[in-house]
Amino acid sequence: MLALLALSGCNAFLSESTADLAGLGGAALSSAVSDNGAVAAGIGIGVQSLARAGLQYTQRELQQAEQDSIAGAAGPLSMGVVATWSVRHAIPLAYDNQGRVTVAREIGALGLACREIVFSVEQRDDAALETAEFYTAIICRAGDRWKWASAEPATERWGSLQ
């Protein structure tokens, strides 16, 4: 399991490996509980579903941390000013990313303060060459913080519709 955690960024491999390990764990548990094939299959599927749900929850939390970092860096900016953002994950299931962000336009009225932002995600390879990919998003003020408002999986308000 520790070897799997060291493979940050390999989401497909991690997802399938988690399901496989959960299947093995479920099989061991079911054989200890019952020798009925239907019961064993039910236990195995349940354990596998719980493992996948746990992994997906963790991946959403990691993505939300990245989005919060970008929104936090962009929130106080004036139009046209460029700031840097970065995130360091405690759990190595995702890359520690960094980049730049700027405010492209202000959106809002009557107490609704939102911004369209342009941000980069920059990665350095072993030779210290930097590659950047650029994206746009919408952030909105939520009290004294700026939060991600684009409809993406880590956006909390969509709940079960994710």
pLDDT in tens, 127-151: 666 778 899 999 999 889 999 988 6
79-86, Cβ contacts within 8 angstroms, sequence gap of 24 or more:
79/103, 79/104, 79/105, 79/106, 85/119
Residue 154 has pLDDT above 70, yes or no: no
Spatial distance between the Cα atoms of 28 and 25, rounded to a whole number of angstroms: 5
Q: Which of 34-48, 73-87, 98-112, 137-151 has the lowest mean pLDDT?
A: 34-48
As a whole-number percent, the residues of the chain with pLDDT over 90 amount to 29
Q: Is the dihedral of CA 135, 137, 139, 145 positive or negative?
A: negative
What pLDDT is attached to residue 7?
46
Full-model pTM: 0.64
CB environment 39-64: b (16+ within 10 A), e (fewer) = ebeebbeebbeebeeebeeebbebbb
Angle at 10 between CA 92 and CA 102, to 5 degrees: 70
What pLDDT is attached to residue 5?
44
What pLDDT is attached to residue 21?
59
What pLDDT is attached to residue 77?
94
DSSP 8: T
What pLDDT is attached to residue 110?
84
pLDDT tens, position by position, 4-57: 444 444 544 455 555 555 555 555 555 566 667 676 677 777 777 777 787 777
Q: Which of 22-26, 84-88, 152-156 has the lowest mean pLDDT?
A: 152-156
Which three-class secondary structure state does DSSP give residue 136?
strand
What pLDDT is attached to residue 78?
93
**What is the helix (H) or strand (E) element at residue 17, kind and residue range?**
helix 11-33
Which three-class secondary structure state does DSSP give residue 42?
helix
Spatial distance between the Cα atoms of 3 and 139, rounded to a whole number of angstroms: 36
> What token pair was written down for 138?
């919408």
